């Protein structure tokens, strides 16, 4: 046997490798879900790994903001680092199909056009030239016989019957 194989065999026999079961338990505690469950590690840590025991302790953190994998890192001088993939939760069926939003204003509706600025609001009656839900920007025009040829403007729907045109 070569000297490196003897050392490897001696290390394996003496339990000189990191406890992979303990790493799995730490990942499960960190994610809050057991291995194989939604939110937990996708699979256990590969049992073929022969990692040096970590004398300074293991640190766990999320690899990305999307929490798709856990970084398991040994803080020793010649430490190691593992990336453990996490099983994502199944998407909610309701989120998969967009729910249609009802229009708050329809074309031809009478609306109040509120022009807002720093410390003031002026409003006048108007007519919606487009339909849309709350938060949508639509074209409107001032109402009245004198303003029948008034130029249309874009305003945001605040609620049914009210659109706003904020000034910078």
Residues 76 and 148 in one domain: no
- Going along 19-161, which residue ranges are E strands? 58-62, 69-74, 81-85, 110-117, 120-128, 137-142, 153-159
Residues 87 and 16 in one domain: yes
pTM over 0.75: no
| pLDDT score for 8 | 40
Residues 22 and 62 in one domain: yes
Whether residue 6 has pLDDT greater than 60: no
Cα distance between residue 57 and residue 106, in whole Å: 64
Residues 79 and 12 in one domain: yes
**CA dihedral over 106, 111, 117, 118, signed as positive or negative:** negative
| pLDDT score for 2 | 43
Range of the domain at 71: 3-92
Q: Tell me 86's DSSP state.
A: B
Question: For residue range 46-99, what is the model confidence (pLDDT) as tens digits?
Answer: 889 898 888 888 888 888 888 888 999 888 888 888 889 998 876 555 556 677
Please indicate, yes or no, if residue 12 is contained in any of the structural domains. Answer: yes
**C-beta separation of 58 from 26 below 8 A:** yes
Please indicate, yes or no, if residue 159 is contained in any of the structural domains. Answer: yes
Distance set, CA 4 to CA 7, 84, 154 (Å): 5, 29, 77
20's tokens: 């992979």
**CATH code, 133:** 2.30.30.760
Please indicate, yes or no, if residue 136 is contained in any of the structural domains. Answer: yes
Percent of the chain with pLDDT over 90: 21
Residues 78 and 38 in one domain: yes
Residues 88 and 125 in one domain: no
Residues 9 and 82 in one domain: yes
- Total structural domains in the chain? 2
Please indicate, yes or no, if residue 103 is contained in any of the structural domains. Answer: no
């Amino acid at each position: 046997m070569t000297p490196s194989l003897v050392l490897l065999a001696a290390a394996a026999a003496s339990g000189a490798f990191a406890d992979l079961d303990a790493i799995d338990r730490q990942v499960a505690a960190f994610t809050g879900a057991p291995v194989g469950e939604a939110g937990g590690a996708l699979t256990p840590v590969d049992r073929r790994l022969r990692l040096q025991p970590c004398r300074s302790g293991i640190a766990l953190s999320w690899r990305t903001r999307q929490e798709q994998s856990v970084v398991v890192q040994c803080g020793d001088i010649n430490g190691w680092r593992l990336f453990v993939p996490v099983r994502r939760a199944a998407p909610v069926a309701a989120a998969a199909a967009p729910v249609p939003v009802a229009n708050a204003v329809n074309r031809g509706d009478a609306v109040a056009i509120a022009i807002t600025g720093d410390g003031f609001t002026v409003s006048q009656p108007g007519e919606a030239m487009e339909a849309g839900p709350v938060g949508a920007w639509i074209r409107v025009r001032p109402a009245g016989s004198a303003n029948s040829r008034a130029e249309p403007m874009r305003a945001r729907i605040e609620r049914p019957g009210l659109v706003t045109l904020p000034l910078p």
